[in-house]
A and B are shown apart, each in its own frame.
Chain A
Amino acid sequence: MKKISILTFLLLSILGFAQRKNKKALDITSNLEGKFVLSKAIGDNNLAKNYKSFYGFGVGGQLMTPIQWGLGLDYTLQFSDAKYGRENYVGNLGSTKLTSVDLYILHKSNHGEDFHLEKSIGYTYYNMSSSIYPSKDIHTEGKGGINAGLKGIFTLDREERQQFTLGLKAHYYQAGVYNENKDIQKFYNKSFLIGLHFGYRYNF
């Protein structure tokens, strides 16, 4: 968690720096976004077969260059639980929280005055923590994986400061767990998540 706060500090300082725009310097713009997220795991794996859908929220920021390429950083927190009837496959783990930090490169294309399309690819660091009931102890897992996304951006105002976003993002999740049986290890270790997010973005 210490590293997440360092990253957040870095993001905020970068955004602060970007705002003090030097007219001669590269015209980099930045934005901040808050969003709601809903994800579903698919495939033959632990998250897809044994867990309910994930719901949560996230915040993110981007740095955009004038050539429509940019860099983004997202922090998302989602919640889930074992599916009813599958608790024996999951174990005594409850109140599951999936934290993801996405770093990505994006390309934006304009389609008319009020609509942009954003395509992105990047890398995500995951931390999935659950409480070991009935105690208050926490069990964590989660490594990293690739992400890719497609997002529609709808401009709400004339100055193009406020926007509504709606996107789909695919995540490759790896838990980093070990089991001597390779099929069982793969079942618990790897998953593929599809997320729907809708948010509000403010451009600086």
Chain B
Amino acid sequence: MKKITLFFFAFLLLLSCSNDDTSNTRIYVEGIIKTSHPANEIELKLVNEERTISSTKLESNGQFVMSGPVFSGNTTLISNQKIKMFSSDKQGLQISEDSLSIIIPSTISYLKFNEIQLAR
């Protein structure tokens, strides 16, 4: 009986471990980029808390997907070519002053860009 109670104690410890809620958010961004540059010259990355959380090159059809863990605050989508305009399924997104990034508010974890147009 004593051993069984010891084991149940261990089991309860295990269960309490699994309730440590560390609020783990993952962001997932996908879309299509329109540009006159060749697709493999476009480099994209997602930055959160000044850390690159994901990066990718464009597919030949202009599609991209990036996903990564979010730590806190806003996430920025950064391109190596200037962004002219974009259209997406969410509100509240902004192009940065240097036109190289789109700022994604912390409330958004899933984002689909119908189109991002890059400058020539």
Contacts of A11 in B (CB 8 A): 10
Answer whether residue A132 sits at the interface, using C-beta atoms and an 8 A cutoff: yes
Q: How far, in Å, is B114 (CB) from chain A's closest CB?
A: 16
Q: How far, in Å, is A185 (CB) from chain B's closest CB?
A: 8
Q: How far, in Å, is A97 (CB) from chain B's closest CB?
A: 15
Say whether, besides A93-B69, A181-B110, A73 and B18 are in contact (CB < 8 Å): no
Contacts of B51 in A (CB 8 A): 92, 132, 135, 137
Expressed in whole angstroms, the Cα–Cα distance for A125 and B17 within the complex equals: 8
A180 touches B24 (CB 8 A): no
Contact residue among B15, B23, B53, B109 (Cβ-Cβ distance under 8 Å from A179): B109
Contact residue among B7, B13, B22, B53 (Cβ-Cβ distance under 8 Å from A6): B13
Q: How far, in Å, is B76 (CB) from chain A's closest CB?
A: 14
Minimum CB distance partner of A6 in chain B: B13
Contacts of A202 in B (CB 8 A): none
Expressed in whole angstroms, the Cα–Cα distance for A138 and B118 within the complex equals: 34
0 or 1 for each of B20-52: is its CB under 8 Å from A? (1 = yes): 011111111000000000000000001000011
Interface residues on A, range: 35 or more
Answer whether residue A184 sits at the interface, using C-beta atoms and an 8 A cutoff: yes
Q: How far, in Å, is B68 (CB) from chain A's closest CB?
A: 3
Minimum CB distance partner of B108 in chain A: A180
The 26 sampled A-B contact pairs (Cβ below 8 Å) are A7-B10, A10-B9, A11-B10, A14-B3, A18-B3, A28-B3, A63-B3, A73-B10, A87-B56, A88-B65, A88-B66, A90-B54, A91-B26, A91-B54, A123-B14, A123-B15, A125-B14, A137-B51, A143-B18, A176-B21, A178-B109, A179-B26, A179-B109, A180-B109, A180-B110, A184-B26
Expressed in whole angstroms, the Cα–Cα distance for A10 and B12 within the complex equals: 13
